């Protein structure tokens, strides 16, 4: 439903404006998202999701605007509207939301999709 802009099976679940608010940064521009174990550079939060403000090293520019969320044990989903790709990484590595193989998985998805 989030990939399709708020519809599922041709039924509107969320209005386009709601999706836009979810994906729009809601935090002050100078706020850094970090914890003692990891940081998320160039990231903000929309309503209910994290929002990538700029592509990171090794990612295509189409990763900008990606929205995502992760769990404590490493599960992570992301949707990149500009690249027309989405991914789910369901690992179980306690207290390791931000782990290297999640990033490797994402880079491979972008590569396979031919994203630029």
The answer to whether position 42 is within a domain reads: yes
Task: Give the count of beta carbons closer than 10 Å to the beta carbon of residue 108.
Answer: 11
The answer to whether position 1 is within a domain reads: no
Q: Please give the Cα distance from 64 to 78 (Å, whole number).
A: 12
* Residuewise pLDDT in 10s, the chain (116 residues): 888 889 999 999 999 999 999 999 999 988 888 877 778 888 999 999 999 999 888 788 889 999 998 887 878 899 998 888 899 988 887 766 667 777 788 888 988 888 77
Q: pLDDT at position 47, please?
A: 93
The answer to whether position 107 is within a domain reads: yes
DSSP letters spanning 29-83: TT--EE-SS-EETTEEE-SSSEEESSPPTTS-GGGTT-EEEE-TTS-EEEEETTT
Q: pLDDT at position 15, please?
A: 95
For the domain that residue 20 is a member of, what is the CATH number? 3.40.710.10
Number of domains in the chain: 1
Pair of tokens at residue 29: 């521009």
Domain coverage including residue 72: 7-113
Q: Please give the Cα distance from 37 to 93 (Å, whole number).
A: 13
């Amino acid at each position: 439903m989030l990939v399709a802009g708020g519809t599922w099976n041709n039924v509107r679940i969320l209005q386009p404006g709601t999706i836009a608010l979810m994906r729009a940064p809601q935090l002050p521009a100078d706020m850094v998202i970090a914890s003692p174990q990891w940081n998320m550079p160039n990231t903000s939060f929309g309503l209910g999701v994290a929002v990538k403000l700029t592509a990171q090293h090794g990612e295509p520019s189409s990763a900008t605007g990606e929205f995502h969320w992760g769990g404590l044990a490493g599960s992570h989903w992301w949707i990149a509207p500009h690249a027309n790709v989405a991914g789910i990484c369901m690992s179980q590595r306690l207290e390791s939301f931000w782990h290297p193989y999640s990033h490797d998985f994402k880079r491979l998805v972008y590569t396979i999709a031919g994203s630029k």
